[in-house]
Amino acid sequence: MEQILTKNYKIELSSINEWSLGEILQKDYPNSKIVIITDENSYNFCLESLLNAFPILEEAEVLQLPAGEVYKNLPLVEQILQVISEHNLSRNDLMINLGGGVITDMGGFMASIYKRGIDFINIPTTLLSMVDASIGGKTGVDLGSLKNQIGVFAEPKALFIDPKFLETLEVVQLYSGYAEMIKHGLIADANHYEELKKVRPEEVPGRLDLIKRSIEIKKEVVEQDFKEGGLRKTLNFGHTVGHAIEGMYLTKSPIVHGLGVAWGMMIEAEIAVELGILPKEDSNSIKEHILSVYPPLKLDSEELEEVMHLIQFDKKNKEDKILCALIDSIGNCQWDVEVGAELVRECVSNNS
Ligand SMILES: NC(=O)c1ccc[n+]([C@@H]2O[C@H](COP(=O)([O-])OP(=O)(O)OC[C@H]3O[C@@H](n4cnc5c(N)ncnc54)[C@H](O)[C@@H]3O)[C@@H](O)[C@H]2O)c1
């Protein structure tokens, strides 16, 4: 079993049968009510394995949410909290979030606002949530097209990962998680980036070493700067543009988060070149790799305008300035780099 210790909790990365979840439930929550938050896919594909491995959870209340980013919003949070309240969950009770990033984001948020906070445990079931979303304490929901606009920082009591859950995942979701892994390499570990370049996203579930390294990078960054005063902003590389593209598609035909991030990294690398921060050959090689894995971005003029509009609303901005995290080499990233809207528009346009 692989274990990664964070300051406040541990991450276990192993077969479900080796998890210490049973001991934790017996020791810390012997008389607690437990609610398991799932979406329709984690309910269908993952819940049974969890209940088989931990019969103690047979008693738990299982709530099944509709799947997808469009449901990551306050109205659904209110509905679910209503149900949780009807089940009389108290301060000493526990929530288990079993699902992708939408479930770990929304579940963590619900746990932290219900009765001013109850404990929660994350069991991520997508690649993206394993290497990224479930780690680092950011929880929340979207507000219309604005991603993650409402939320709180809150950490789980423990986090359990079994890559076996990835077997039922749609391939496009592996591509989504792979983009965040690439980002981890680009911002913090050139060697990780080089190793990732050697594998296709489909091969990642068999590469515990790569999954583990990505988790470690996220954890190391977050531990140095939990509330995102500085260094943590490097995790936003690719996200200023990426979130806007994702937000633009949200009400049309939603794209996976990682695809937005992949395009965002390609465009933001070009912005970094234009600002004289990043050598052009690095940006070219990033673009080449991204386009060897992901389809090209194609925006019409109306979509470009909408993306630009959403970029200006990005919560990472300050006083009307677009602030980006930009890499200055492969494996190192700066943050709070001021970028003019015209340059952003030019680079988005060049790449679409
Ligand atoms: N909190 C953070 O730090 C952070 C970081 C990155 C991303 N995020 C958020 O994470 C979300 C994206 O996460 P995601 O990509 O996991 O999306 P998701 O939760 O929507 O999951 C993707 C799809 O996979 C399905 N699924 C989940 N587990 C499955 C399994 N084992 N087998 C088959 N299908 C399964 C889901 O039902 C869904 O349809 C976004 O909302 C993003 O904003 C948060």
Asked if residue 146 and residue 244 are part of one domain, the reply reads no
* CATH number (domain holding residue 96): 3.40.50.1970
Confidence of residue 251 (pLDDT cuts 50, 70, 90): confident
Asked if residue 118 and residue 107 are part of one domain, the reply reads yes
- Between the CA of 6 and the centroid of ligand 1 the distance, in Å, is 22
Of 118, 148, 168, the last residue of a domain is 168
* pLDDT for residue 57 is more than 90: yes
Asked if residue 247 and residue 150 are part of one domain, the reply reads no
Q: What is the pLDDT of residue 147?
A: 79
| pLDDT (tens digit per residue) in 193-244 | 999 999 999 999 999 999 999 999 999 999 999 999 999 999 999 999 999 9
Q: What is the pLDDT of residue 315?
A: 60
Q: What is the pLDDT of residue 27?
A: 96
Q: What is the pLDDT of residue 49?
A: 98
Asked if residue 183 and residue 162 are part of one domain, the reply reads no
> Catalytic annotation on 91?
no
Asked if residue 20 and residue 151 are part of one domain, the reply reads yes
Confidence of residue 263 (pLDDT cuts 50, 70, 90): very high
More confident residue, 314 or 21: 21
134 Cβ closer than 6 Å to some ligand 1 atom: no
Quote the percentage of the chain above a pLDDT of 90: 91
* CATH number (domain holding residue 310): 1.20.1090.10
Asked if residue 289 and residue 218 are part of one domain, the reply reads yes
Mean pLDDT within 324-343:
96
Q: What is the pLDDT of residue 277?
A: 97
Asked if residue 201 and residue 53 are part of one domain, the reply reads no
Asked if residue 209 and residue 135 are part of one domain, the reply reads no
Mutate to test the pocket of ligand 1, among 102, 125, 127, 227 (most ligand atoms within 8 A of CB): 102
* pTM of the predicted model as reported, rounded to 2 decimal places: 0.94
| pLDDT (tens digit per residue) in 151-172 | 999 999 999 999 999 999 999 9
* Protein residue closest via CA to atom 20 of ligand 1: 68
Among residues 33, 157, 213, 218, the one annotated as catalytic is 218
- Total count of domains within the chain: 2
Of 140, 168, 196, the last residue of a domain is 168
Asked if residue 189 and residue 146 are part of one domain, the reply reads no
* pLDDT for residue 183 is more than 90: yes
314 Cβ closer than 6 Å to some ligand 1 atom: no
Confidence of residue 128 (pLDDT cuts 50, 70, 90): very high
Asked if residue 285 and residue 273 are part of one domain, the reply reads yes
- Between the CA of 259 and the centroid of ligand 1 the distance, in Å, is 13
| pLDDT (tens digit per residue) in 283-331 | 999 999 999 999 999 999 999 999 999 998 766 666 667 999 999 999 9
Asked if residue 269 and residue 127 are part of one domain, the reply reads no
Mean pLDDT within 38-57:
98
Q: What is the pLDDT of residue 314?
A: 66
Domain that holds residue 149: 2-168
Mean pLDDT, the chain, as a whole number?
A: 95
Mean pLDDT within 61-90:
95
Of 120, 135, 168, the last residue of a domain is 168
Query: What's the 3-state SS for the chain?
Result: CEEEECCCCEEEECCHHHCCHHHHHHHHCCCCCEEEEEEHHHHHHCHHHHHHHCHHHHHCEEEEECCCHHHCEHHHHHHHHHHHHHCCCCCCCEEEEEECHHHHHHHHHHHHHHHHCCEEEEEECCHHHHHHHCCCCEEEEEECCEEEEEEEECCCCEEEECHHHHHHCCHHHHHHHHHHHHHHHHHHCHHHHHHHHCCCHHHHHHCHHHHHHHHHHHHHHHHHCCCCCCHHHHHHCCHHHHHHHHHHHHCCCCCCHHHHHHHHHHHHHHHHHHCCCCCHHHHHHHHHHHHHHCCCCCCCHHHHHHHHHHHHCCCCCECCEEEEEEEEECCEEEEEEEECHHHHHHHHHHCC
108 Cβ closer than 6 Å to some ligand 1 atom: no
Asked if residue 13 and residue 107 are part of one domain, the reply reads yes
Q: What is the pLDDT of residue 289?
A: 98
